[in-house]
Amino acid sequence: MTERGGSGQGPTAPERKLLKVLAGEAIFPPPIWVMRQAGRYLPEYRATRAEAGGFLDLCYTPRLATEVTLQPIRRYGFDAAILFSDILVIPDALGRKVSFLEGEGPVLEPLPLGEVERLSGEGVVDRLAPVLEAVASIRAALPRETTLLGFCGAPWTVATYMIAGRGTPDQGPARRAALGDPERFGRLIDVLVTASIDYLIAQLRAGADAVQIFDTWAGVLDEASFERWVIEPTKRIVAGIRAAVPGARVIGFPKGAQASLVRFAAETGVDAVGMDWTMPLGFARDAIQPKVAVQGNLDPMRVVTGGRAIDEGVDRILETLGQGRLIFNLGHGITPDADPAHVARLVDRVRAARR
């Protein structure tokens, strides 16, 4: 496989605006998609979720995963669809018990560091075959101009859930483990790096045009730990993907990285970085955008509020970042209390923009 970006890349690939930005082109108005665009704020998603039963059942049933991925594309015509799945399918494929409890989020069997040696990444891609089937199905059903994004959770973030068994306010259990026994914690990261490389390569070969690495808990680390557990693993993943799929396009999203995003952009090899809504726009324009494309970073609360809150937020981002390489997005996932009509206003505001 030498074709850039997987089998989703065909003769129509140059028409996909998001891919143009990842390749280095500045486009205005910029392409737009939003994280968690297939989610509980949409009535059609809630209906499909009810049909599936459990959340992982939805992720692992290709027909239903395809349907919910396509729903926001039909409704809003976003420039990208992102595979409907979850960052915790990798620990599930590694044999760790994962469940999703209504109102509580994900719950895992906590992993003592002494059991890390028993983990093996062998067979992860085979166990995630239903997800890869969904990737191929989604690509076949998407409009030709729509980019398909695959994704995985970054090793640090996935490890935080595996160690604690759930999300905590500051992911203290994983931070203590990493500081107290960095050798064993490093072996866990190694397993997750290898599994992530194999999984993302498989997504690209199944039809994804590009992939995103979500590091939701990157912002809780100090500078040295950020280097070791965020930058270095991401760099290894990007290199591993491109060894198999030359020129593959990768977006990195280390939420909460702030000034450390400069080093992340310079050292990991990603084509774009996602930014949360607390990132100062002028800093992003001057320190990050000259290195890579930037993605973000509207506060999701503006979409909940609607009206002028959306308009002012969109305009400020476009005024500051619109001259360079930009993928318009939220600074994190859209929340269940967002009004679908507010999302339509957001898309219209971005697409109606003029320099």
pLDDT of 240-287, one tens digit each? 999 999 999 999 999 999 999 999 999 999 999 999 999 999 999 999
Domain membership of residue 178 as a residue range: 13-351
**How many domains is the chain built from?**
1
Exactly one of 4, 45, 76, 86 is catalytic; name it.
86
Mean pLDDT of the chain: 94
Report residue 79: phi and psi, to 5°.
-75, -15
Answer yes or no: is 194 a known binding residue.
no
What are the C-alpha distances in Å from 161 to residues 61, 192, 245? 24, 12, 29
What is the structure's pLDDT at 104?
76
Catalytic residue among 16, 36, 205, 249: 36
Task: State yes or no: is 205 an active-site residue.
Answer: no
pLDDT of residue 132: 98
Distance of alpha carbon 273 from alpha carbon 288, whole angstroms: 9
Dihedral Cα 254, 79, 236, 198, nearest 10 deg: 120
Is position 161 within any domain? yes
Tell me if 295 is assigned to some domain: yes
Q: What is the pLDDT of residue 102?
A: 75
Is 176 catalytic? The answer is no
**pLDDT for residue 11:** 36
Question: Is 308 marked within a binding site?
Answer: no
> In Å, what is the CA distance from 147 to each residue of 50, 80, 125, 283?
28, 4, 23, 28
| pLDDT of res. 107 | 94
pLDDT tens column, 302-338:
999 999 999 999 999 999 999 999 999 999 999 999 9
Is 212 known as a binding-site position? no
Structure tokens at 205: 């070969």
Position 1 in a domain: no
- Asked, for residue 290, whether it belongs to a domain, the answer is yes
- Residues with pLDDT less than 50, the chain: 1-12
3 φ/ψ angles, rounded to the nearest 5 degrees: -70, 135
pTM for this one?
Answer: 0.95
Distance CA 113, CA 302 (A): 41
Look up 263 and say whether it is catalytic. no
Please give the Cα distance from 280 to 185 (Å, whole number). Answer: 33
Residue 342 lies in a domain: yes
CATH number of the domain bearing residue 289 = 3.20.20.210
Residue 7, domain member (yes or no): no
Distance CA 78, CA 36 (A): 12
- In angstroms, the CA 297 to CA 285 distance is 12
* DSSP class per residue in 49-115: HHHH-SHHHHHH-HHHHHHHHHHHHHHH--SEEE----TTHHHHHTT--EEEETTTEEEE----GGG
Strand partners, 213: 152, 252
| Angle at the Cα of 250 from the Cα atoms of 74 and 231, rounded to 5 degrees | 135
Query: Is 161 marked as a binding-site residue?
Result: yes
Question: Any known ligand binding at 199?
Answer: no
Q: Is residue 268 part of a domain?
A: yes
- Is 86 marked active-site? yes
36 is catalytic: yes
pLDDT value of residue 2: 30
Say if 2 falls within a structural domain. Answer: no
State the catalytic residue, choosing from 4, 16, 49, 236.
49
Task: Name which of 302, 130, 276 is nearest 215 in CA terms.
Answer: 276
DSSP string, 198-264: HHHHHHHHHT-SEEEEEETTGGGS-HHHHIIIIIHHHHHHHHHHHHHSTT-EEEEEETT-TTHHHHH
The whole-number pLDDT of residue 151 equals 98
pLDDT of residue 290: 96
Residue 49's pLDDT is what? 95
Catalytic residue among 41, 45, 60, 161: 161
